[in-house]
Structure formats: structure tokens, C-alpha cells
Amino acid sequence: MIGLILDALIVISLVGLALQAINAASLFRAILHFVVLGLAMSLAWARLDAPDLAMAEAAIGAGVTGALMMIAYRRLVELKPEGEPARTTQRSKLALPIAVASGLLVGMIGLAASLTEHRPGLAGLAVLETMDATGLGNPITGVLLIFRGFDTLLEITVLLAALLGAQAVTQRPDPDPSLTTQDPTTPLVGALLAIVVPLTVLVSVHLLKAGSSDTGGAFQAGAVLAASGVLLILTGRVEASDRPVVLLNLGLVAGLVSFILLGLAPLLQGGTLLALPGIGAIYFLESAMTLSIALTLVLLFAGATGLKRGRHG
Amino acid sequence: MSLNDGIALALLLAGCAFYLAGTIGLLRFPDVYCRLHALAKADNTGLLLICAGLAVLGQNWQTTTILALVWLVGLLASTVSAHLIARHAHRGGQKPSETKSRHP
């Protein structure tokens, strides 16, 4: 009963927040609603017994995406200081019928799914049967890296491509000082960083390690690590720079390159492509991917090609 | 329902009441300083009560330690962000609201 009420509350707030995120009076409100929508979505995933997805949604969907959208909003305001133009998008006459039709479609699918007998898919059963042989305890990590390694490889590639695209269109040659908070020298900020940054790194490493047997993994760990990078930029300890840094670029491609090399390695011995050789390789790959994901997200936030020590560092 | 469940329920409900009070303060108070005051104080107490309630339910020192950490980190983050927001508002020239209290 309580569970049902909770589910109903989550569903209602999801729909309401989604509507608000689209129809909000200003862009800023829309962003805030989107971030809260991400949090509600992570609650929904948690209720569906998908803690991995819930964590990824909270860390990436709400946290990092929210920070990225906020910083994009700030840049927009800087470009047009006279204020944001009124949103004058004309509503199409087709909007309502399309919305009703898609709602009906989703409702029908949900109804059909809840009425049919629950049967796990064949692929899922096959994964669970062969999980023991992989040495991993978490089927999700198994699917991401062993059974569907190609998908994950492409995801990492897309992330890197996104960063390269963002860097290509960034028109600001000089680093942006406005990212720093108004008063980065107050003693409280230093105290906060001294506690929060080590804790964040600890949580990130824990998530990375836990990914092999429990909830966690490279994407969650990378997002959490990126959060501490964003914090360091916001407090002026680290600054955007227009000069590429070799070490940083190595870290950016570490995940992709090690995935490709480890994926190709079995071919030398006549194995199949992307058949990762053993649990050690998986740990190595996850660590490299965590580093790359975190650096990519931080550089996306900074909107720069490199980072350097900040003025308040 | 055991005694532990009762204690946990009372703590959780009290925590929710503090959250509600803080949110009402955030929505109703006249200026940014009052709002921060309501939010930072009431929500942190609410978080403490909810963490305590969950720790009673958990009955496990690992869970309790993690919940204590959650509260401490929440406390730290809300303190610093409230401080920064208030400082920014003060430097920006926002004056505290001059509304007189109805009960002198």
C-alpha cells in the first residue's frame, strides 16, 4: 500500500516536472525543473530495483548535466546581457493529438507488459548463466564490458566526440574567469574543499571497485570524480586554459585507447574481438574509463582545451 | 510494531516536519537572508532526524557511520553554500527586509 502511494507520487511528480521543464516561463526555471526531474527519475529507477541506473541518473542526469546546463545558461546570459528573450515558440496544433496518442501508446505498452506473464528474456538468462565464468559479481558490469562491450566502446567514443565537438565550436580564446564563485577566498570554501574533495575521490574509487560485484561502475565513478573537478573550477582552484596539456589529453583518450587495445589483443591469439582477457583487464579498463569520463566531463564544463592551476589555487 | 520501529517512525516524522517547516520558510519569508536562515537551519535538523531514524531502523554500525557521514557532509555543503549566497547578496547591496514583527 505504502509502496503504491510512493510509486503514484513519483509518477505524478515525474509528469508534472517534465511538463514544467518544457513549459517553464524562463529558461532558468526550465533548467531547474529538469534537474529535479533527474532526481525524481533516479527515485523511480531505485523503486524499479535498478540501483545502478538510479545512481547513474542521479550523478549524470541530475548532477553533471545540471552543472553543464547551468554553465551554458550563464554563457548565454553573458552573450546577451540585456536578458533572456521571451520564449515565443508557437504551439503547433498537432501537439495535443500527438501527446495524447503517444500517451495512449505508452499506456497500452505498459498495460500489455503488466498483463502478460513475466518471463525473463533469453539473453538475460544466458548472461546470468555465464556470469560465474567471468569472475564478476555484478551482471550489469558484465553486460557493459563482456556481453555488450561494443556498445560501451561506442559510448566512450561518443563522449570523446562530444568533447571534441564542443572544443571545436568554443569561440572563447581566453580562459573564462567568470566560472569562479564570487568570493573564492573565504575560509569556509577552503575548509569545504579540504573535506569534500578527498571524500569525493574516495567515493569514486569505491564505486569503481564496487562495480565488479555490486552497484557501481566506471560511469558512476567518473561522474562523481568529475563533480570534484567542477567544484575545484567553481572555487577558482583550477582554471580553464586554452593550451592543451599533454598529461590531460593522455587521460582523455586513456579509456578509449585501452579499450581498443584490450579488445584487439585476443585477435593475436586467435580469439574473438573484444573478448576481454580476464578480470585484471576489466579492472584496468574500468579505471581508465573512469579517468577519461571524469576528465571529459570536467573539460566540457570548463569549455576549454586544457586546465591549469587557478589564481586561488 | 516493535519499540525500535516506533522510535524510528517518530524520528522520521519529526524530520519530515522540520523539512516542511524549512520549505514553508523558503517560500514565505520576505528576503534572501531569512530564507537561507529557514532553509539551512530547519533542513539540517530534518536531515539529522531522518538519518537518526534510518540508523535506528538499520541497527548496524556500518549503516550508522555512513548515515552520520551523510549528515556531516550535508551540513558542510549547506553551511558553505548558504554562506556564499548570503555573502553574494550582501555584496550585491541587498538589504534585509524591514518588515516589523507583529508581536513586539
Q: For residue A181, give how far its alpha carbon lies from the nearest alpha carbon of chain B (Å).
A: 8
pLDDT at res. A186: 77
pLDDT at res. A267: 81
pLDDT at res. A225: 92
- Quick: pLDDT tens for B6-42: 999 999 999 999 999 999 999 988 888 888 988 888 9
Report yes or no: B90 at the A interface, CB cutoff 8 Å.
Answer: no
Which residue type does A43 have? L
- What is the arithmetic mean of pLDDT over A52-79? 86
Cβ pair A185, B84 in contact under 8 A: no
- What is the arithmetic mean of pLDDT over B48-63? 91
SS3 A26: coil
- Quick: pLDDT tens for A239-277: 887 788 888 889 999 989 988 888 888 888 877 777 777
Give A83 or A201, the one with higher predicted confidence.
A201
pLDDT at res. A87: 59
pLDDT at res. B60: 87
pLDDT at res. B100: 59
- Quick: pLDDT tens for A8-65: 999 999 999 999 998 888 888 999 999 999 999 999 999 998 888 898 888 888 888 9
- Checking if the pLDDT of A148 tops 60, the result is yes
SS3 A211: coil
Return d(Cα A250, Cα A257) in angstroms, integer: 9
User: CA nearest B82 in A: which residue?
Assistant: A188
Contact (CB<8Å) B84/A189: yes
- Record the cell numbers describing residue A151, joined without a space: 556498445
- Checking if the pLDDT of A283 tops 70, the result is yes
- Between residues 3 and 62 of chain B, which touch chain A (CB distance below 8 Å)? none
Q: Which residues contact B46 (CB under 8 A, 6 or more apart)?
A: B15, B16, B17, B18, B19, B22
Contact (CB<8Å) A188/B73: no
- Average pLDDT of chain A? 83
Contact (CB<8Å) B91/A182: yes
- Between residues 173 and 192 of chain A, which touch chain B (CB distance below 8 Å)? 181-183, 186, 188-189, 191-192
